[in-house]
Structure 1
Amino acid sequence: MKMVLMMTRCYLVITALLLLSVIPTAVTEVVKSMSDCDQFLLDGAPPHVPGVLEDGKILDQNRYKPICQTYMNKRRFVTLYDIKNRIPVFSAIKYRGQHDSRRPQNRWKIEPQLEKADYDKNMLDDKGSINKHQAGKMDYRNNRTFDRGHLLPSAYAFNKTDKISTFTLTNIVPQAATFNQGSWNKMEKCIKCVMDKYCKNNNNNTEGFVVTGALPSSNNTLNNKINIPSMLWSAFCCYSSNMNMWLASAHWGTNVPDESETEYLQTKTLSELHHELSTADSEFKVFPGTRCPLHRTVTRFYPTSKNCYCPSSISPNVTSQPFTTKSGSLMSISSPPASTASTAAITSASTSISSPPAPTSGPIITTSATGSDAATSLPLTGAAYLWHTHISTSDPHKTNP
C-alpha cells in the first residue's frame, strides 16, 4: 500500500512538472544596458537620443529602463522605457516578415520588475493593479480620445507568439484614436509592404530593422498619470540584395486626430528625422554608424497595391480625389510651447495637397508649416525644445490648466 502511495505521489509530481513545462510563460527582463538586447538593433547600435541615450549609454539609469521583451523564454524585441512618463522612449525589432497574419486577443500585460527589481521576471497579465512606475490598463479606461497605441505593431511580429509579446503596456502610448487607426496605420502597412518585397538579405531571407518612438509632451497627461506624447516617429533600414542597395525612410506625425480619412503621413529621409529630433547640443541618430542612406527615401519603391495603403498608389493625375498629409513638423513653433498652446500649435501643422508627396529627399513645403530645413535658425524650438523640457521639467505629470 505504501509503495502504491509513493508511486502515485511521484506520478503526480512528474505530471505537474510536465504541465509547467508546456504552459506559455512570458519572461520580460529589465536589464542594465541596451547592449544586452542588441540583436534587435542594426549592427547592434542603439539610437542616439539627446539627453536620454547617447553613445550607447543611458544617461539616467534610474529613469530609463531597457527591457528585453521576451515571451516563452525567447526574446522578441527591445524597448527603452521611461518610468517617469510611463511610456516607452522607443521599441526596436529585427523584422523577419510575417508567418501568421492573425491579430491575437488584446490581453494586456505589465512588467513586474519595473515595480521592484527582485520581482518575478515573467511578464504578467494586467489584473487592474495600481502601478508606480508603469501604465496599467485601468489608466486607459473611460476615455474616448486615445487608443492604446503600439510603438511596435503586432503586424510586424513574425508569428503568433511574437505578436502576443507586443501587447505589453511597456510598448504602448496614448495615441489619438483616429491618428492610430488612420494615417499612422496606413504608414505601418505601406512600410511593411516595402520590407516584404525589398528587404532581402544575401540569403534571400526577409530582414529589416525598425525603430519606433514617442516624443513626450512637456506637461500633457492622461488621467494625471501617463504622458501623452506630442509626436510619434518611426524609421526603418535594410539591405536589399535584389536591388543591391541599402534602403531607408522615416515618418513622423503629431499626436492629434486626423483631419480626414484620406490623410497620409509624409515620407521623410533619415536626415530630416535627425534634424527634427536633434537638440542644440546633441544630434539625434536613429541608426548611428550604419550604412543606412540619410538623404533618400523609398517612395519610388512604393507598391501600387491598394492593400498596401501607400500614398503613391493614388495617381497624382486624379485631382478629383485629393488626400491630406500630416506633416507633423514641430520645428514650425517659433517659441517654447505654453501649457495649453502647444497642442494648438502642433495641430496647425497639417495641410491639404492635391498630389502624393514627391520621392525627394528635400523638405516638403506646406502653406501652414515651414519645412524642417527652413527652420535651422531655431535650434531649440519644436521637437528640440520638447526633448530639452521633458528631461528638465520638475513635474511632468501636471495636467493642462
Structure 2
Amino acid sequence: MKGWLYLLLCLPLARPGVVQDFNHVERCKDSLYMGTPPRGYLNHVYKKICQRLQDRPRYVTLYDPRRRMPVYSAYTFKKSDGEKSVDQPWMYEPQLASGLGSSNMEPFSPSSSSRMLLDSQATLEDFADVVQYERGHLNPDQHQADPVDKAATYALTNVVPQIREFNMGPWAQHEDRIRQRLNNYCRGTAYVVTGTTTAGNMIRRNNNDRVGIPEYVWTAYCCTDFDRNAPYLERYRFPTFGAYGLNDRVNNAVVEVPLKTLEKFLKGRMDVDKNFQIFYNDCIPDEM
C-alpha cells in the first residue's frame, strides 16, 4: 500500500505537460531565471505548459486557450550558428486537449482532429488560408543548438500569427541580432522571455474566431555573467535588455529598450497588475 501511495505522490512530477506551476526541474524550472516565471498576470484561464519532447523539459509556455495562442514562451538561449531547421513536423500539446494525454508534444497527423484538440489549441488548418501571416516562433529554433531542442520549437503552442513583412523583416533581424550578442558576450546562461500583446483581432475559420493575432511582439533577455570588456554599445545592454515591435506591414521597426521601460510599455497593453515583472529581481543578482 505504501508503495502505491509513493507512486501516486510522484506521478505529478513524472508526467508534466500542462502544470500548476514551474517549481520543479521536471516542470521546466531550469528554463526560468532563478526558477521564477514572469509575475503579475491577472488572467486565471491561462495554462502553464512545460513543453517536453522525448521525455525531457525543453521550455516554458504560458498559453491562452480562449485565443488559442501563447502569451509568452521562456527558454534558455543556446549558442548557435543561426541555421534554421528544415522539414520539421509541426506539433501540438496533447494535455491541453485532455488531462490524460501524453506529456510530450506530438506531431500533427490525420487523426489529430478531435473536437477537444480543436477547442483547446490552434491547428494547422487555422494557418492554411491566411497567406498574409507566418507562424512566428516565440522560442525560435535559431536560438537553440541541439537538434531536439530545435525540433521542440515547432509546436503551434509556441507560435503566433505574424504579418509576413514583420516576421521576415524587423523581427527576424532582431532575433539574429540577439543571437549574435548573446553568442559573443554572454558567458553564462542567458534566459529569454518572448511574449505578445493583443487588441482582440482573430484569425477566423468557418465563421468562428480561432487564433488571436498579436498587436505587439516583445522580448527580453537576462544574462548576469557577461563580458565586462565588451564594446560599450553592447555592454550597456547587459545584464538585461528588452525590445518590442508592432506586428504590422508598416511602422514595424523593433525598438530596443531597458527592461523597466519595456515593462512600463506592456502594463498599458496587457492584463497585468502593477507588480508585473518579467525577471525575478529585474535580473539583478543578489550579490550585486
TM-score, normalized by the shorter chain, greater than 0.5? yes
Q: What is residue 286 of structure 1 aligned with on the other side? A: 278
- Shift of the 32–122 alpha-carbon distance from structure 1 to 2, 3 Å rule, reads same
1:337-356 Cα deviation digits (max 9, x unpaired): xxxxxxxxxxxxxxxxxxxx
Contact 2:54 2:104 in 1 (8 A): no
Q: Report the Cα distance in structure 1 between the residues aligned to 2:156 and 2:283, rounded to whole angstroms.
A: 32
Q: In structure 1, which of residues 276, 280, 293 is the aligned counterpart of residue 265 of structure 2?
A: 276
TM-score between both structures, scaled by the size of structure 2: 0.80
Deviations 1:120-168 (A, max 9, x none): 3332211252511100011101111111111111101121111000000
In 2: Cα distance, 1:104 partner to 1:49 partner: 37
The structure-2 alpha-carbon separation of the partners of 1:222 and 1:151, relative to structure 1 and needing over 3 Å to count, comes to farther
Listed as ranges, the matches of 1:382-397 within 5 Å are none
The correspondence for 2:185, drawn from 188, 198, 204, is 198
Count of aligned positions: 250
CA contact (8 A) 2:81 2:142 kept: no
CA contact (8 A) 1:42 1:290 kept: no
- Counterpart residue number, 1:166: 153
Q: 2:4 is matched with which residue? A: none
Aligned to 2:176: 189
CA–CA distance in structure 2, aligned partners of residues 288 and 95 of structure 1: 17
Is contact 1:100-1:160 (8 Å) kept?
no
Aligned equivalents of 2:60, 2:257: Cα separation in 1: 24
The structure 2 residue matched to 1:227, chosen from 212, 217, 228, is: 212
Q: Which residue of 1 aligns with 2:221?
A: 236
Of the three residues 17, 35, 41, the one matched with 1:44 is 35
Identity of aligned residues (%): 31
Preserved CA contact (<8 Å) 1:28 1:71: no
**Comparing both chains, which one has the higher relative contact order based on Cα–Cα distances under 8 Å and sequence gaps of 6 or more?**
2
| 1:243 alignment partner AA | R
Q: Determine which structure has the larger strand proportion and give its number.
A: 2
Q: How does 1:107-186 map to 2 (within 5 A)?
A: 107-127=89-109, 129=113, 131-186=118-173
Aligned CA-pair RMSD: 2.3
The runs of 5 or more residues in structure 1 that have no matched partner are 1-26, 53-59, 202-206, 294-401
Work out the CA distance in 2 between the residues paired with 1:163 and 1:176: 23
2:20 aligned partner: 32
How far apart in 2 are the matches of 1:69 and 1:281? Answer: 26
Q: Which runs of 5+ in 2 are unaligned?
A: 1-14, 230-234
What secondary structure sits across from 1:227 in the alignment?
Answer: strand
Q: Secondary structure at the match of 1:232?
A: strand
Residues in 2 aligned to 1:75 and 1:93: alpha-carbon distance in whole angstroms: 10
In structure 2, what is the Cα distance between the partners aligned to 1:189 and 1:31?
A: 31
Tell me the secondary structure at the aligned position of residue 239 of structure 2.
Answer: strand
TM-score by length of 1: 0.58
